[in-house]
Amino acid sequence: MSRVKIGVLVSGGGTNLQAIIDAIDNNNINAEIAVVISNKFGVYSLERAKKHSIESLVIDSKKYNNIYQYNEDILHEMKERGVELVVLAGYLKILTPNFIKEYKNRIINIHPSLIPSFCGGGYYGENVHKAVLKKGVKLTGATVHFVDEGTDTGPIVLQECVKISDHETLESLKKKVLKIEHKILVDAVKLYCQGKLSVKENKVYIEK
């Protein structure tokens, strides 16, 4: 079975990117990362790619007045490299409908809560964990989902819970959830590369 070509979009430090790189290096995922694309310079994700001899690009979103042209340029780079699966690893920009249509059910995102709780507009990064702590819920977690035209509304691939202690802090909760993120993102990418995921009526089915 040929290796699946992955394109990864990043905006920050890239610990989720590193989890995928490590899983590929350990032969846990039958894939290769064809390109890592960042929307800005100076993020550590680019260094992670460089250390593993993975091609990386910066397509600076600040240089674009048109989000559609920005996305078209990213799409062009993905298609030039034969990318089959797009992974959003801490990517904080919006994908346009044309981009999503081109890679329908082939764009995977990781979100730091149990969707449909604490998701949608404004819920990203620390904002999610702050809202979780403020609400006082007893469980949170992470969700891997396919991306559609909405915000965090695409078909759910995998979810996993973590318990929230009575003395939880923002930092301790971030660490707990990030550990889960790394695990289920790798699992989801692996399942996709094995051809074990299918989507019917907005529900993901996993072949046993």
Measured over the CA atoms of residue 4, residue 182, residue 180 and residue 85, the dihedral's sign is negative
Per-residue pLDDT of the chain (208 residues; tens, 9 = 90+): 689 999 999 999 999 999 999 999 999 999 999 999 999 999 999 999 999 999 999 999 999 999 999 999 999 999 999 999 999 999 999 999 999 999 999 999 999 999 999 999 899 889 999 999 999 999 999 999 999 999 999 999 999 999 999 999 999 999 999 999 999 999 999 999 999 999 999 999 999 8
Tell me, yes or no, whether 99 and 146 share the same domain.
Answer: no
- Using CA atoms, how far apart are residues 88 and 91, in angstroms rounded to an integer? 5
Q: E-strand spans in the chain?
A: 4-10, 31-38, 56-58, 85-89, 107-111, 139-146, 156-163, 197-200, 203-206
CATH value at residue 46: 3.40.50.170
Domain count of the fold of the chain:
2
Active site residue 76: no
Structure pTM?
0.95
Write the CB contacts of 52 (distance below 8 Å, at least 6 apart in sequence): 21, 25, 33
- Same domain, yes or no, for 146 and 95? no
The backbone torsions φ and ψ at residue 200, rounded to the nearest 5 degrees and listed phi first, read -135, 120
Among 103, 126, 152, residue at a domain's last position:
103
State which residues form the domain around 92: 1-103
Q: Give me the catalytic one of 76, 111, 167, 182.
A: 111
What are 87-106's pLDDT values in tens digits?
999 999 999 999 999 999 99
Q: Do residues 145 and 97 share a domain?
A: no
